[in-house]
A = this chain, B = another copy of it.
């Protein structure tokens, strides 16, 4: 607790300077190193200071540059409260609402704020096409033969190499490739759970995971989640006796975009491990950090093979390629058997192409560019929301990822907003989609993967006007 006190004190000092105008919008803050020296604190404590200020939306990280005092709109838009879902398992699936929203997702005549991917013109399309052609040349029989069950070895090697950036230290043999990230989660859920089990998840959570868990016969327990620091550990502790497995998106989960601090990740891993509760970790947004550093994963702290770490390139490179993977820890044999039974193997060409792309430096260049674009989009969205949406509108403060969570005053029904907006060719994701309980009816998710333009701005204005009419 002494450490907590220390970083809070320093953070409060800086926050005060910003609020009093000593530090002005756009001013650069000292570096992590400088802060360490100045206060004689550890790197970790210094990082925590900046994380706290970022969480309060007082500062922004800029890749390769450091931290800067935020632009003003952030300060005007309050943060949503920590979610307070009911403590019992629920299964009130918003099936009709989800079907309605999903049915419009392929409709490119709409402005799709509802689709959680990066738009095609943010992706390295020409380079990927070359890798596909190269893959048909390199692979035995042009990629027509069955791939080995565990998946393309080169791809697994590249993922293992990259795991160092988040403290993963994986070996290619620890990994199994899958038909996209959702397929990885599906195999993990089947590997560690059985019908009747109770699964703990964040709240709000990705609708696909909630539905999948229900369809596999699980009871779903949604836990209180802070928009910035993620799932509340105390709530998780209390739930322990009632749960059999846990699925978290610790880094930039959709819809909130929060990030569980590294120490908390460590604590969660230890807690679940101690009680033999498997943790499925969905890290598909991990590479899309806005700050200076790739956050760690729960897997980084996994000493007993109890964490099944899942990811894919669907959010960073090519959703349509369906290339995902999992490091299933001690559940690897179960996972391989499930993969064999449900799909035999994965398409060779897609995996080889992605492996070759990762093997060059191209992926990191692309990611740098994509992260900067998404962060700019995020700031532009927040500006537009501050400008066009009604007083009292709250927004999450994503530290990465592809979405913003917007909360309106009670009484605003975003399912109704969806129906109005779709008539104006705008698609949003109503908050009720992200829970199996009766909550979040006054919330919505906006995706920030579309390239910013005057048209997007005007669509956000239209949306704001619709909310004001409700």
Contacts and interface: CB of A to CB of B under 8 A. Distances in A.
Interface of A: 102, 105-106, 117, 120, 123, 125-126, 128-129, 132-133, 136-137, 139-149, 179-180, 182-183, 186, 190, 195, 208, 211-212, 215, 217, 314, 317-322, 337-338, 340-350
Contacts of A208: 340-341, 344
22 contacts: A117-B146, A120-B140, A123-B141, A125-B144, A132-B133, A132-B349, A133-B133, A143-B321, A144-B318, A144-B321, A145-B320, A146-B319, A147-B320, A179-B347, A180-B345, A182-B342, A183-B342, A186-B343, A208-B344, A211-B341, A322-B347, A347-B347
B343 A322 contact: yes
A343 B146 contact: no
Given A179-B183, A183-B344, 10 more contacts: A106-B148, A117-B145, A125-B141, A182-B343, A183-B343, A211-B337, A212-B341, A322-B343, A347-B347, A347-B350
A322 B178 CA distance: 12
B341 A141 contact: no
A123 B133 CA distance: 18
B132 A144 contact: no
Contacts of A179: 179, 183, 322, 343, 346-347
A144 B347 contact: no
- The secondary structure that dominates the A interface is helix
A125 B142 contact: yes
B102 A149 contact: yes
Contact of A342 (B106, B212, B314): B212
Contact of A120 (B144, B182, B211): B144
Contacts of A343: 179-180, 182-183, 186, 322
A106 B59 CA distance: 54
Contact of A341 (B105, B120, B123, B186): B186
Contacts of A190: 215
Contacts of A215: 190, 337-338, 341
Contacts of A140: 120
Contacts of A340: 102, 208
User: Which one of A117, A317, A338, A344 has the greatest number of beta carbons of chain B within 10 Å?
Assistant: A344
A195 B218 CA distance: 13
Contacts of A217: 195
Contacts of A318: 143-144
Contacts of A142: 125-126, 128-129
Nearest to A187: B342
Given A125-B142, A141-B123, A320-B145, A182 B341 contact: yes
A350 B343 CA distance: 15
A440 B126 CA distance: 54
A120 B136 contact: no
Nearest to A213: B341
A132 B144 CA distance: 11
Contacts of A143: 132, 318, 320-321
A421 to B, nearest CB: 21
Contacts of A147: 320
B182 A344 contact: yes
